[in-house]
Amino acid sequence: MKLLSRPEELVLLAVWRLKDNAYCVTIRRQISEVTGKDWSFGAVYVPLDRLEKKKYISSNLGEPTAERGGRSKRFYSLTPDGVDALLKVKEIENAMWEGIEGLSLDNIA
């Protein structure tokens, strides 16, 4: 199985955190806040599409609202596969980090 990319991982985590309110705007805001960088919509759409294609998330359309100019929101939610993939990444990361101590900038010099 292919590993998740970092944006994909972030997006999946954001979807998980946002629970029932996970749609593009909120996901983007969440990630931007956490990383401290302004993520463009494109940067969120692409991993979302890719994840949906991989069946890690599923989406459904909400009711159209006036503030969105009569457009629906598309809500995303994690599938079991998605949860699985996240756990797998976490596991690998943990394994990679294990036993590494004293990793700091001082040690490099």
Query: How many Cβ atoms sit within 10 Å of the Cβ of residue 57?
Result: 25
Pick the closest to residue 52 from 15, 18, 20 (CA basis).
15
Supply the minimum distance, in Å, between the C-beta of residue 88 and another protein. 29
The distance of closest approach from Cβ of residue 36 to another protein in the complex, given in angstroms and rounded to an integer, is 17
Shorter beta-carbon distance to another protein: residue 5 or 72: 72
The terminus-to-terminus CA distance of the chain in angstroms comes to: 38
Nearer to another protein, 61 or 87 (CB): 61
| Ramachandran bin of 99, using left for φ above 0, alpha for ψ from -120 to 50, beta for the remaining angles | left
* Binding-site ranges for another protein (CB under 8 A): 23-25, 28, 40-42, 45, 61, 64-74
Find the shortest distance in angstroms from Cβ 85 to another protein. 24
